Amino acid sequence: MREILSLSFGSKSNFLLTHFWNTQEAYFVYDEKESSKVSVNTNFRQLTKHNREHLATVPRECVYDFTDEFGFVRKPWLAEERESDIATPSFSGSVEKIHKAPLDIHPYQSALWKQDEWLNSQDPHELRNLEEMPSIPNIQNGTIKHWSDFNRLLFDPKFLHPINNPDLNSEGSSFELGAEAFRLHNNEQNVWDDTLRPLIEECDGLQGFQFVVDVNTGWSGFMTSYLQYIEDELQDAGLPTWIFGVKNTEGSSVNPLPNHMQKQMYANESLTLASLKDVLSLYTPLSLNSAHDYWFASSIANMAFESLTLPTRLNGASYMHMSDVEYYFKSSTGRSILALDLKAKSHEKNEWQINQNVSFVNETPVDLSNSSKIRTIMRGPNNQQAVLDKMSSELTQDIININDFGFPTLDTTPDELSIIDTTVISASSNEKVSSHLQSIGKYMNTRQIPELDQDDILELQENLQSYTS
């Protein structure tokens, strides 16, 4: 069934994936007479009781974050099933709110609860008067504090992992802090036997894994230790392992981050890449522009993330396995690191509303018309020939063009971005990747990472340099 298993680590990553999951929900088809362009089973799994009664469709994901970031996650929705046995996967024990202290409920989330309660109160055999259903308010800029504030999906509580260490989400928190947090967590709950293996065993044809991590905080050390712990199992499986490193920019010119924090952020990313050279098959950095809050910035990053991975979950002839998408991009760059440029607009507009490098902020996007080597994925609500005509004929031979499938309109997207339905995502030049690796590699030294000796540092520096060879 070509499943993909996702794992997310940290607040910024979960902001991104909340946008991603909300986007996937927009593809759901509820009329049996209609067919979906997207395979739901690729990224979602079904929760059922032992009598095979359907409970919910939930993301095929393990979520790691600081406890408070989970908020209410659509209430303890399984509480009513406490006395029922749930089959495949199993669930035991009571379901409780996973935060310790009361948190403010965002108006959007509160409205979803009321809508749930109204729907559950209706007789499924009678025609519903949808005009009586509680309305959902628009999300106002600046009101989102946690990714769970705008989450629309239900999750399997068994795979929500609150880590009670707020420092992991702090800018400039160390790689070693995350590594130690992983060791403590793994002693309590084995990440292979208790988490990953049950999810993998329920898959019929696993495509691969996508890890999304706050790469410049302590979560980098947590995820790296996680992957190193299961490295043998991953290599035995021989499946694509994609890592998306989500990070803040280094602050603004008005309010820059302190120098020591910037150095630690660079060291965290360099340690992650150097340590996972033999594990990851594709690495893509995604920067959240500090000019916006996480909700807005991660919405832009999701346009790139969702469009890049879209072919892996399509139905029909447009479907591409993760390994095929990986080969498509690597055959151009020759490297396992991608830097992405994003163009996005409404199909009715001539000008691009977004035209930026989403991997390295303040980098100039590549001029697509002047290159035949850049690999590109394009999608829109109609035939994209008008856009293609603006690019060189050589380039169009290397484009994955997904027609009649525009980016959906979501009520969890900032109003300024809601009209966007056409995206072009391209792998940027090797020069940008090389320059970035050189910049972050300077901070992989014993002064910045005192827990490592010089021999360890030299080995890691060689690993980092291997990405450019």
Is residue 49 included in any domain, yes or no? Answer: yes
Q: What stretch of H or E contains 213?
A: strand 208-214
Count CB atoms within 10 A of the CB of residue 447.
Answer: 8
Q: Is residue 209 part of a domain?
A: yes
Asked if the model's pLDDT at residue 83 lies above 50, the reply is: no
Q: Report the percentage of the chain scoring pLDDT > 70.
A: 84
Residue 58 tokens read as 């939930």
Q: How far apart are CA 60 and CA 312, in angstroms?
A: 14
Say yes or no: 74 and 13 in one domain. yes
The pLDDT of residue 93: 40
In a domain, 279, yes or no: yes
pLDDT tens figures, 310-320: 999 999 989 99
Residue 405: phi, psi to the nearest 5? Answer: -150, 75
Q: What are the E-state strand segments in 67-106?
A: 86-87
Domain end call among 119, 143, 167:
143
Identify whether residues 324 and 442 lie together within a single domain: no
Q: Is the peptide bond before 107 cis (omega within 30 degrees of 0)?
A: no
Same domain flag for 111 and 254 = no
Tens of pLDDT, residue by residue over 176-219, are 999 999 999 999 999 999 999 999 999 999 999 999 999 999 99
- CB within 8 Å of 453: residues ≥ 6 apart: 446
- Count of domains in the chain? 3
- Which CATH number covers residue 189? 3.40.50.1440
SS3 9: strand
- Residue 287 shares a structural domain with residue 260: yes
pTM: 0.90
For residues 46 and 126, membership in a common domain is answered with: no
Degrees, nearest 5: CA angle 164-188-168: 30
Does the pLDDT at position 132 exceed 80? no
CA–CA separation, 129 vs 447, rounded Å? 66
Instruction: Looking at the structure, tell me whether residues 125 and 170 fall in a common domain.
Output: no
Reported as a single tens digit per residue, the pLDDT across 218-243 is 999 999 999 999 999 888 889 999 99
**Are residues 320 and 457 located together in one domain of the fold?**
no
Q: Are 341 and 365 in contact (CB under 8 A)?
A: yes
The boundaries of the domain holding residue 463 are 434-468
Instruction: Let me know if residue 368 belongs to a domain.
Output: no
Specify the 3-state DSSP secondary structure of 85.
Answer: coil
Residue 423 and residue 428: Cα distance in Å, rounded? 15
Confidence category of residue 250, pLDDT binned at 50, 70, 90: low
pLDDT over threshold 90, residue 84: no
Distance between CA atoms of 134 and 111, rounded to whole angstroms? 7
Instruction: Write out the two tokens for 329.
Output: 């991009």
Assess if residue 391 is contained within a domain: no
H or E element, residue 112: helix 107-121
> What pLDDT shows up at residue 237?
84
Last residue of a domain, one of 295, 325, 340: 340
- State the residue for tokens 């009321």: 114
User: Measured between alpha carbons, how far is residue 224 from residues 7, 147, 214, 269 in Å?
Assistant: 12, 23, 11, 10
Helix (H) or strand (E) holding 368: none
Residues 121 and 220 in one domain: no
The last residue of one of the domains, among 310, 340, 370, is 340
What average pLDDT does the structure give for the chain? 85
What contacts 105, CB < 8 A, 6 or more positions away? 71, 72
What is residue 91's DSSP assignment? B
Residues 209 and 81 both lie in one domain: yes
User: First CA to last CA across the chain, in angstroms?
Assistant: 36
Average pLDDT over residues 296-317: 96
CA 335/CA 28 separation, integer angstroms? 35
Q: So what's the pLDDT on residue 118? A: 80
Locate tokens 């998306």: which residue?
244
Say yes or no to pLDDT of 395 above 70.
Answer: no
Whether residue 12 lies inside any domain: the answer is: yes
Residues in a beta bridge with 344: 354, 423
416: number of Cβ within 10 Å? 12
- Dihedral sign from CA coordinates of 351, 356, 362, 363: negative
> Does 256 fall in a domain?
yes
Over residues 135-155, the mean pLDDT reads 91
Tell me the C-alpha distance between 379 and 425, whole Å.
9
Whether residue 232 sits in one domain with residue 158: yes
> Both 54 and 136 in a single domain?
no
DSSP 146-189: SGGGS------GGGEEEE--GGGGSTT--HHHHHHHHHHHHHHS
The confidence band for 53, taking pLDDT boundaries of 50, 70 and 90, is confident
Q: What percent of the chain has pLDDT over 90?
A: 57
Question: Domain check: are 155 and 259 in the same one?
Answer: yes
Using CA atoms, how far residue 286 sits from 216, 303, 305, in Å, is 11, 11, 8
Q: Of 38-42, 240-244, 375-379, where does mean pLDDT reach its minimum?
A: 375-379
373 domain-assigned: no
**334-357: per-residue pLDDT in tens?**
889 999 999 999 999 989 999 999
Q: Within 10 A of 165 (CB to CB), how many other CB atoms are there? A: 19
